[in-house]
Amino acid sequence: MFQLNNEEFNLIFQNGTSAWGGTRKLPYAFTEHGVAMLSGLLNSIKAIEMNIQIVRAFVVLRQYALGYAELNQKLEDFMIETNMQFNEIYQALKELAEQKKILNKPRNPIGFNVSQYEHATKN
């Protein structure tokens, strides 16, 4: 059993539970192993039923945490793969822009230029 700190206690209220009135001490919580140890001490039917429900809640939380970790890993892999693809696209666009600069450089016109001829004949 351990006492929650302020940050952990605030997380409880962010999950939709209501706050109590007045100032109180931070609550205590059991770990999964603490609940299992406590079950060895309890002998009433109600206590045993409650302990079973708590252990089931811990099992669901563990499954949720494993699913979250798996989802987080898949998301990281996706982000890495997507980032690599965006880098490849960026490099290809950069190369195309360089090629376009080379192709679009100003060239001297070939052939007869009327404006140059008129300018030369006026002088």
- Note down pLDDT in tens along the chain; length 123 residues: 778 888 877 766 655 555 555 557 888 887 777 877 777 777 788 877 887 888 888 888 888 888 888 888 888 889 888 888 888 999 999 998 888 887 777 777 677 777 766 666 665
Distance CA 37, CA 70 (A): 30
The answer to whether position 116 is within a domain reads no
Question: pTM for the whole thing?
Answer: 0.41
User: In whole angstroms, how far apart are CA 41 and each of 7, 34, 47, 78?
Assistant: 31, 11, 10, 48
Tokens of 49: 């039923």
The answer to whether position 96 is within a domain reads yes
Q: Number of structural domains, the chain?
A: 1
The answer to whether position 109 is within a domain reads no
Q: What residue numbers bound the domain in which 54 lies?
A: 31-104
The answer to whether position 83 is within a domain reads yes
